[in-house]
Amino acid sequence: MTITLSRRTMLVLGLIAALGIGFVIGMLVAEGGKDAVTTTVTTGASAAEEEKGESEGESFGEGSCIERGIDTAERKEGTCSQEGHKYAVVDRQSTLEMETLDAKLLGIRKNKTLSSDLGSETASGIFVTFELSITNRTHTPATFEEGQCWLYIDENVYTQDFEVQNGIEQQSFLWQGQEIQPQNSQVGTVTFDVPSSVLTDLEKGGNLDFGNFGSEGEEGHEIGTIRTYQ
């Protein structure tokens, strides 16, 4: 299957690469099951960059992820700072609260093929579809866009499958295309085509990551994480 990235998604990923933050967006991945989580940190940053990141992190008024126990050893929920970014991290059953939105994971389903009255699509690996409730915390209408959510499994970042969400999966936020009014919620789905070989890691060490409305890819922006394992 050909996976088409939106211009917004490509811009986000390009900015991430340009800022040199690597895969830090997929932080706090579990390894080895329920009791293990690792914090993924870019190791190639210079001392100057690290110092800059620490000073920017202080502006959030949060401790580092390790200091706050949002790591392998303690696996706590909460907010923390890492290399100038603010992270909000919750377990699978909890509601993620960010500056502009709340996100609640309602369910996960896996399918080899998805179908609708518009046709069907078969995954290169397996389709993983997440049902979410997104609440708009801002004072103006906002749309939950394709580039605002990505999946991190086994040190890999996966973007949403545009073709499936553009009519085959008709509950997708993309297909619904609706604005979420202030303080209101919308239920919808996001779907990813992931290799079968990493599927077992989804419930051992996966993260569903989020950006705020209108702030994706910006240096120092907040990133939200829902752990996909129990």
Question: How far apart are the C-alpha atoms of 155 and 177, rounded to whole Å?
Answer: 30
Cβ-Cβ contacts under 8 Å for 61 (sequence gap 6 or more): none
What are 109's two structure tokens? 């389903």
DSSP string, 116-175: ETTEEEEEEEEEEEEEEEEEE-SSS-B---GGGEEEEETTEEE---HHIIIIISTTBHHH
Flag whether pLDDT at 114 surpasses 90. yes
Task: Give the pLDDT of residue 66.
Answer: 83
23-43 tens-digit pLDDT: 343 444 343 333 333 333 333
Core vs surface per residue 28-51: b (16+ CB within 10 A) or e: bbbeeeeeebebbbbeebeeebee
Band (pLDDT 50/70/90 cuts) for residue 74 is: confident
| DSSP for 79-90, written as a single string | EEEETTEEEEEE
Looking at residue 167, its pLDDT comes to 92
pLDDT of 69:
85
SS3 73: coil
Token digits of residue 180: 């979420």
Query: Structure pTM?
Result: 0.73
Nearest to 102 by CA among 110, 94, 113: 94
Lowest mean pLDDT among 123-127, 151-155, 181-185, 215-219: 215-219
Kindly list the structural domains of the chain, giving each domain's residue range(s) and its CATH number in brackets, ordered by start.
7-26+86-227 (2.60.40.1240)
CA distance 172 to 127: 13
Residue 16 has pLDDT above 50, yes or no: no
